[in-house]
Amino acid sequence: MPECLECGFKGTRLQWTHFKYKCTGRFKNGTEYRKVYPNAELVDEELRGRTAVTLKNLQRKYGEAEGQSRFEQYKQKQADTNSFAYKQEKYGWTEEEFKQYNKSRAITLKSMIMRHGEENGTVKWLAYCDKQRYTNTIAYFIEKYGDAEGTKHYRRVCDMKAHTVESVTLRHTCNKEEAISILQSYKTAKRFSSNAECKFAQRLEEHLGEQLDYSVNTKQYCVYNDRAYFYDIVHNKRAIEFNGDYWHCNPKSYNSNFYHEHIGLLAEDIWNKDKIKIDTLKEQRGIETKIIWESEYNENESTIIEECVKWLKHTDNE
């Protein structure tokens, strides 16, 4: 239960009426209060869960059909009121002010620490990361919807997020040719790449003495063959795939029957997909690929970097 750090009052919710009429008179509302006590809680966790505008809460209150309708209306209203056009018309915001507003709302480690302090902010950030990872697994969908429906929803979400002509056509409401063009123009977003890959690419550039043609720091190399394939590093007509041991099931650590819960595939299926990706690059562009496993790199960075520099400069003996 939240406790007012100004006067010691405890309640399920610290509202503006408390600060204006019952507290010390120092604050008019929760916003002013949080400026002085940034780590303070205003609403009881259980109450927040029960009163949050969620599909489950609305259906419990209004029934399945009416709850679904109200939830769709709520989502549309949120989308409208959070658009630049709305903020510009209502508050006269510039594009720069709108960008800063969005940055302040982003859930990042930095923003969580600013809101809740270093210790609580870090704890909340790690909990958020764990939740995000879990909600993207097939186990989460099965738990929420049951075996059959959960699997169906999970596959549908994966299909919508996939780099395919069909998914891009739906997301952007465009034709096939436009979808292919969009796929081939996609840039790498560092938030989709591991820190290890980013550091590897940076270290490789330092030893090469030049910027990589395609990498996490510039733009991923894309080849389209029924779907879009993106490659970690392509330089001087050579490629390097930096594979995480867990996500790509390093054969030294995982057998072919290992089931990857986050991806929903057996290790053998993951290896086959990776092989198709590498073969596509060779067959369509004549580019050979070198595989670097993250664990191998961590064990002997200098040797791996030296090998990769030789590989990209075509001074290897292979």
Q: How confident is the model at residue 307 (pLDDT cuts 50, 70, 90)?
A: very high
Q: Position 147: which residue type?
A: D
pLDDT digits (tens, 9 = 90+) for 144-168: 888 888 888 888 887 777 767 778 8
Q: pTM above the 0.75 mark?
A: no
Angle between helix 147-161 and helix 165-172 axes, rounded to 10 deg: 80
**pLDDT surpassing 90 at residue 249:** yes
* CA distance linking residue 9 with residue 16, whole number of Å: 13
Spatial distance between the Cα atoms of 282 and 288, rounded to a whole number of angstroms: 6
Strand partners, 233: 240
Give residue-wise pLDDT tens across range 62-103: 999 999 999 999 988 988 888 888 989 988 999 888 888 887
Residue 290's pLDDT band, with cuts at 50, 70 and 90, is: very high
What pLDDT digit, counting tens, does each position of 162-184 carry? 767 778 887 777 888 888 777 76
Q: State the CB neighbour count (10 A cutoff) for residue 212.
A: 21
Beta-carbon count within 10 A of 141 CB = 22
Q: Is 16 in a helix, a strand, or coil?
A: helix
Q: Which residues pair with 264 in a beta bridge?
A: none
Q: Catalogue the E-assigned strands of the chain.
A: 221-224, 228-231, 233-235, 238-243, 259-260, 265-266, 288-293
